[in-house]
Structure 1
């Protein structure tokens, strides 16, 4: 069974790149949205194994989604979150009152993105084929 991933990214080119990496290299059941309101609606109604959020989403920002989700008692309140942002300079993880988040700076290499997604999914996805 494929792992379910939500990708919330407002830039269409970035959406296409991340979606391609996720579907071809990782093989997930992917839901893509372009703004924070749509992301929040998805996480409040559908279960996911991983949430990938751009920090600067229109309508509702990534950090507001995280705060709302972690404070709620919904099916995704403890789902791992990967946040992407051009405003951070180095990758890492941070623990807040709302749980553990992994942060990656934009732009990001495809290899780092795929490796991070695999790690957050707990190694439950096959490795990327050579040349993929």
Structure 2
């Protein structure tokens, strides 16, 4: 176990369960949120070493969630990976401008997800 905690924010339950399975198998503790508002609330209540955020979600999209996390002094240092089906360069730039550390296009390979999580939480890839 890495002892590291990851918050997965995605409106798709199947995606959340897939990420949970991959990340827990890699030794992480995983919490979930179904939209940006819920994700922000979870981030404010618990301490996370990484956030994995879908871009297209109801209530608050991933870009806005990333911006709000970066604007909060208590949260701004959490690494954030944004994940989307959007493949255009402008989508990635929008994520980086909001404050994302990495932009990944779906589908995400399990080994890449685990390696990215280890890298951004300070573990060995």
Q: Which TM-score bucket, shorter chain as reference?
A: 0.7 to 0.9
**Offset, 1:88:** 2.4
Q: What runs of 5+ residues in structure 2 fail to find an aligned partner?
A: none
**Offset, 1:122:** 1.1
- Measure the CA separation in 2 of the matches of 1:11 and 1:100: 20
Kindly provide the CA deviation profile for residues 65-107 of structure 1, in whole angstroms up to 9, marking residues without a partner as x: 1111111212x211100110000258x89753x5451111001
**How many residues get paired?**
121
**Higher strand share goes to which structure?**
1
CA RMSD of aligned residues (A): 2.1
Q: TM-score, normalised by structure 1?
A: 0.81
The aligned residue for residue 77 of structure 1 is 76
**Structure 1 residues 1-132: aligned runs within 5 Å:** 2-24=3-25, 26-74=26-74, 76-88=75-87, 95-96=96-97, 99-123=99-123
**Offset, 1:43:** 1.2
**Higher helix share goes to which structure?**
2
Q: Look at both structures and tell me which one has the larger radius of gyration over its CA atoms.
A: 1
Where does structure 1 differ by over 3 angstroms across 4 or more consecutive aligned residues? 92-96
